[in-house]
């Protein structure tokens, strides 16, 4: 009887043997389902990427190739491209004193923007990161110039800096301070530095916003531990805030460098590159050559040279400063 019970229990516990045919049928179905999923994912990627890629090709790749094509011809903007000069336009640009001056001014703006905006952005961000009344309003006021149109900001500052009748000259004259006779934008000794100050005012909101976001992501426990160890406020900022803000600072400096290399609209509205080329940049140089002198071959060569300079500086900055941040983020 025990054997019968054991046998019946053992029979109930045994599973029926698997059918090999059902496994063979299921595998192709799984493969087909995976293929459908893969094709669906690829179709979604193509659907969403194609419009952006088409715009990128149309407004970036095509103009770059067109500029490269124009740069090897002597062309005034009329008729076909027939007068092939090879690298002659590049030689003319690289040996042009006006281009050398524009390049020096551009590099001055690149370096000056970082030197001025980095400490000012850190100082204002540290101030706005502290709890105070009207903190949100102050943040909005500081960030307003950055979102303001470059043309509108340039026109406002152009009116403020008018010689003798401008607001700045009037205020300085009322307290007995000397002002340039030709105005801040009309005197070649002050024009470039005035433009640099206006650019600092215009774009200071970006580093403030980035630094403020970086500060708010730092855990409060670090500051509490430093306070318990007897560290002062400045010591906590120097040993905690600044090192942890390093990646944010380097990323902002990269964006500032690329933006300064392409600086055009504010300079054009304020001075048109004058007086006597005192505030010219590479972009104002190529615009003058192209739209005013109709030397589109020269302008194309200057634009290609600007592209090579920007690409070289971007790669060098990536190799020297951003590689460690990228590696740590990946890890």
Each residue's pLDDT tens digit, 270-280: 999 989 899 99
Closest to 93 measured CA to CA, from 111, 72, 114, 66: 72
pLDDT tens by residue, the chain, 331 residues: 444 444 444 444 454 554 555 555 566 776 777 777 788 888 888 899 999 999 999 998 998 899 899 999 998 888 888 889 989 999 999 999 999 999 999 999 999 999 999 999 999 999 988 888 877 888 888 889 999 999 999 999 999 998 888 888 888 888 888 888 888 999 999 999 999 999 999 999 999 999 999 998 899 899 889 988 888 889 999 999 999 999 999 999 999 999 999 999 999 999 999 898 999 999 999 999 988 888 999 999 999 999 999 999 999 998 888 777 666 655 5
Each residue's pLDDT tens digit, 53-64: 999 999 989 988
Q: How is residue 161 written in tokens?
A: 């800096």
Say which residues have a Cβ less than 8 Å from residue 264's Cβ, sequence separation at least 6. 281, 283, 284, 287
- Collapsed DSSP state (helix, strand, coil) of residue 73: strand
- The CA–CA distances, whole Å, from 31 to 18, 43, 44 equal 21, 18, 20
Q: How is residue 325 written in tokens?
A: 């941040």
Contact criterion met (CB below 8 Å) for 89 and 297: yes
pTM for this one? 0.82
Report pLDDT for 12. 46
Phi, psi of 73 (to 5 degrees): -125, 150
Residue 281 has, within 13 A of its CA and on its CB side, a CA count of 26
Each residue's pLDDT tens digit, 17-59: 545 555 555 667 767 777 777 888 888 888 999 999 999 999 9
Residue found under tokens 């990228």: 326
d(CA 147, CA 233): 32
d(CA 223, CA 233): 9
Q: Is the CA virtual torsion 56, 210, 201, 114 positive or negative?
A: negative
- The CA–CA distances, whole Å, from 302 to 94, 103, 271, 313, 319 equal 9, 11, 20, 16, 26
Walk me through the domains of the chain, giving residue ranges and CATH numbers.
103-294 (1.10.3720.10)
């Amino acid at each position: 009887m025990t054997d019968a019970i054991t046998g019946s229990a053992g029979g109930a516990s045994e599973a029926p043997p698997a059918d090999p045919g059902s496994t063979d049928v299921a595998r192709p179905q799984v493969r087909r389902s995976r293929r459908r999923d893969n094709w669906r994912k690829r179709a979604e990627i193509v659907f969403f990427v194609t419009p952006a890629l088409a715009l990128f090709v149309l407004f970036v790749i095509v103009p770059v190739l067109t500029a490269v094509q124009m740069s090897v011809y002597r062309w005034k903007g009329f008729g076909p491209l027939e007068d092939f000069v090879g690298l002659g336009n590049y030689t003319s640009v690289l040996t042009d004193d006006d281009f050398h001056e524009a390049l020096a001014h551009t590099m001055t703006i690149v370096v000056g923007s970082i030197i001025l905006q980095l400490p000012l952005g850190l100082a204002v961000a540290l101030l706005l990161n502290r709890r105070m009344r009207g903190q949100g309003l102050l943040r909005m006021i500081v960030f307003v110039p950055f979102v303001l149109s470059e043309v509108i900001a340039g026109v406002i500052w152009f009116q403020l800096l008018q010689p003798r009748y401008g607001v700045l000259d009037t205020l300085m004259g009322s307290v007995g301070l000397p002002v340039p006779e030709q105005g801040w934008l009309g005197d070649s000794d002050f024009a470039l530095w005035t433009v640099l100050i206006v650019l600092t005012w215009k774009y200071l909101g970006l580093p403030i916003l980035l630094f403020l976001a970086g500060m708010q992501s730092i855990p409060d426990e670090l500051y509490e531990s430093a306070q318990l160890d007897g560290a002062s406020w400045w010591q906590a900022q120097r040993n905690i805030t600044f090192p942890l803000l390093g990646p944010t600072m380097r990323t902002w400096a990269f964006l500032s460098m690329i933006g300064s290399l392409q600086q055009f609209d504010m300079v054009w509205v304020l001075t048109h590159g004058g007086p006597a080329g005192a505030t010219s940049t590479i972009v104002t140089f190529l615009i003058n050559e192209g739209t005013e002198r109709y030397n589109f071959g020269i302008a194309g060569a200057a634009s290609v040279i600007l592209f090579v300079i920007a690409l070289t500086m971007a790669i060098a900055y990536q190799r020297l400063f951003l590689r460690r941040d990228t590696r740590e983020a990946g890890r």
